Amino acid sequence: MLSKILAPIVAWMTSVMGAMGPFGVMLLMAIESACIPIPSEVIMPFAGYLAFQDKLTLFGFGAGSPVTQIAIAAVFGALGCNLGSVPPFEIGARGGHVAVARYGKYIFLNQGHLDMAHRFFERHGGAAVFIGRLLPMVRTFIALPAGIAEMDRRKFHIYTFAGSLPWCLGLAILGYKLGEHWHTLGAYFHRFDLVIGIVLLAGVIWFLVSHWRQRNRS
C-alpha cells in the first residue's frame, strides 16, 4: 500500500533531479525541510545513483569523478535543508507565541511551556537541531519548535547544515553503492519513520493525558 502511494511521488522527484541535477536535489530537500514529509530516504539515494551514472555534475564540474559528484549531492542537499527550514522557523518565531496564547489551552499548552522550550533551546538547541537532523521524520519538523523557542538564527542554520550534511552524504553514498537498486533504501528507512512516528505520537498522547488529569485535579 505504502509503495503504491509513494510511487507517483518518487517518479516526480526522480524526474526533477534528472532534469535539474544538483539544483533539483536542493529543491527537493528544501521541500522536505519545510515540514512537507517527502522522503529524503529516496531523494539522496537517487542523487547517489545519478553520481553512479556520472550525471550529477555542476555545470560540467565533477564529470568522471564519483567522489566529487557525491560531495556535490551532499552539499546541495544540506543547503536545501537550510533553505527549506527558513519558512517553518520564521513561522514559529513570529507566530508561535500568538498561536499558543490563543489556542494553546485546547491542547494544554501555555506560556510556561514556551518558556521551558526557550530555556531548552538556549542550553541544548545546537545539539537538539544537530541530532534531530540525523533522525528520520524528526528532521522534517525540527525547525518549527526551534523557531517557537526563538533559537538564535545563525546558530540554528549552522547546526542545521552540520547535521544535514552527514545525513545527505551517507544516503548519497548508499545510493551510489547500490547502483540501480537505490530505490530499496526508501522502503527500508520508512520502517524507521513508522517507528519514530509511533513513538512521537505516544509521547504527544502521554503529554495531553497527563496535563488533562493534572488540570482536572486542580
Q: How many domains does the chain have?
A: 1
Candidates 43, 72, 41; CA nearest to 55 is 72
CA distances from 1 to 6, 7, 10, 36, 39 (A): 9, 10, 14, 20, 16
Give the pLDDT of residue 107: 43
pLDDT digits (tens, 9 = 90+) for 60-77: 888 889 999 999 999 999
Q: Which domain holds residue 104?
A: 2-217
Task: Please say if the pLDDT value at position 2 is more than 50.
Answer: no
Candidates 84, 82, 92; CA nearest to 149 is 92
